[in-house]
Amino acid sequence: MFEYIKGSVINLSPAGLVIETGDIGYFVHISLTTYTQLHGSDKAKLFLHQVIREDAHILYGFFEQAERELFRMLISVNGIGANTAIMMLSSHKPEELQNAILGENVGLLKNIKGIGIKTAQRVIIDLKDKIGKTAAGDLTFRSNENPVRSEAVAALEMLGFNKKAVEKLVDQILTEQPAMTVENLIKLALKSF
C-alpha cells in the first residue's frame, strides 16, 4: 500500500490531478477540499489510498491525513464506495461532515448526491462512535498543518511512542519555540520522554 506521493503537479482539475515523480505521471482522484488546498501549487504531497480492482488500480489523494482517515471511515460503511466518499468530501468540508455525523444531521448528509436517507442514517449509526473517539485528538483538521510538526510526530510515532502523547509534547515544544527544526524538535522530545 502506498502512503503518500510527492512530486510536480502537471495537471490539476477539481476531480483529479496528474502528479509526476520519478519521471512517471500518476493520475490521482481528489476531493474539492484537496483541490482548493492545491490550487496554484507547482509541487504537492498527497496522502494516498489505493483501490485495486480486477480492471483498475485507482489512487485517491488527500492533502491532509485527517481527510484520508475520514475517507477510509466513510468507505467502511456498507453502501458507500470510494466515489461516493469523494463526493461527500467534495460536497462538505471534513469538519462539516464530522459535525453532521456527531450531531446526527441526516438532512445534511442526504442532500449529498448519491446519498439517500437510509444511507445517511447508516453513516451516522456506523461512524458516530468511531468519530466520537477520534474527535478528541486523532481526527483533527488543520488547514495550515505545520510540516515540521507533522514530520516530528510521524518520526516519534515510528519509534513506538503514543501518538496522542507525542502530539501533546510536540505542540507544547512548538508553542515555546516555534522556529525549531525537525531534528532539534525530535531530539528535545526524546529527552522529555
pLDDT tens, residue by residue, 80-95: 999 999 999 999 999 9
Among 5-14, 26-35, 112-121, 141-150, the minimum mean pLDDT is found in 141-150
- pLDDT bin (cut points 50, 70, 90) of residue 137 is very low
Domain of 176, in residue numbers: 147-192
Q: Per-residue pLDDT for 135 more than 70? A: no
Distance CA 88, CA 91 (A): 5
Q: Are residues 127 and 74 in the same domain?
A: yes
* CATH number (domain holding residue 89): 1.10.150.20
170 in any annotated domain: yes
Number of domains present in the structure of the chain: 3
Q: How far is CA 44 from the centre of its chain?
A: 14
137: cell is 485528538
Q: Are residues 115 and 168 in the same domain?
A: no
76: cell is 467502511
- Do the strands 4-12 and 43-52 form a parallel or antiparallel pair, or are they unpaired? antiparallel
pLDDT of 54 reads: 93
pLDDT of 144 reads: 43
* CATH number (domain holding residue 186): 1.10.8.10
* CATH number (domain holding residue 38): 2.40.50.140
pLDDT tens, residue by residue, 12-56: 999 999 999 999 999 999 999 999 999 889 999 999 999 999 999
Residue with cell 458516530: 128
CB 29 within 8 A of CB 86: yes
Q: Are residues 118 and 71 in the same domain?
A: yes
| Helices 163-176, 147-158: inter-axial angle, 10-degree rounding | 140
Residue with cell 525549531: 180
